[in-house]
Amino acid sequence: MNGDTVLIASELVELSAELGQRLHAYGWRVATAESLTGGALTAALTAVAGSSEYVAGGLVAYQTEQKTRQLEVPAELIERYGVVSAEVASAMVCGVARRFATDCALAVTGVAGPTPSEDHQAVGTVWVASCLRGDVRPLCYAFGEVGRDRVRFATVKAALRQLCDQIDAEFS
């Protein structure tokens, strides 16, 4: 592991711990639905000691078919809007929250590259949907063509920060 990898890992663990503190304080649990990050979001969350208290679990639905099968994303949504969309990210987050019966959930879908998606979404285009007690918030991020690893890292970081911010907004 090189120095950059250690810095990246520590940054995600720090942000995961920050989210974990919020979840612990309110007695909430979180679940994840991942596509382009392939489990990295759940790995970041579970890198924190004691995270089993608030991380219920996660699903990696990398193939489009699995989004429908495992997360109950309606095929019509995928056909109409494409897998990299607010609608699909929102359906993913609702599906995983239902499946794990959690108060909070995160879902990520996007294009890590090196080529655009089948529905012509640009490399680095990512949708993150966060859900807090039924309030779903999809946000689009444009990370650009910075390489697969950087897009995936930026996605995990954005997802963790997005749920922290949503929780903070709930109580401000």
Beta pairing, strands 30-34 & 125-132: unpaired
Query: What pTM was estimated for this model as a whole?
Result: 0.94
pLDDT digit string, tens, across residues 36-74? 999 999 999 999 999 999 999 999 999 999 999 999 999
Type of residue numbered 12: L
d(CA 63, CA 34): 10
- Give percent above pLDDT 90 in the chain: 88
DSSP 46-57: HTSTTGGGTEEE
> Per-domain residue ranges for the chain?
3-170
* 3-170 CATH choice from 3.90.950.20, 3.20.20.10, 3.40.50.150, 3.40.50.720: 3.90.950.20
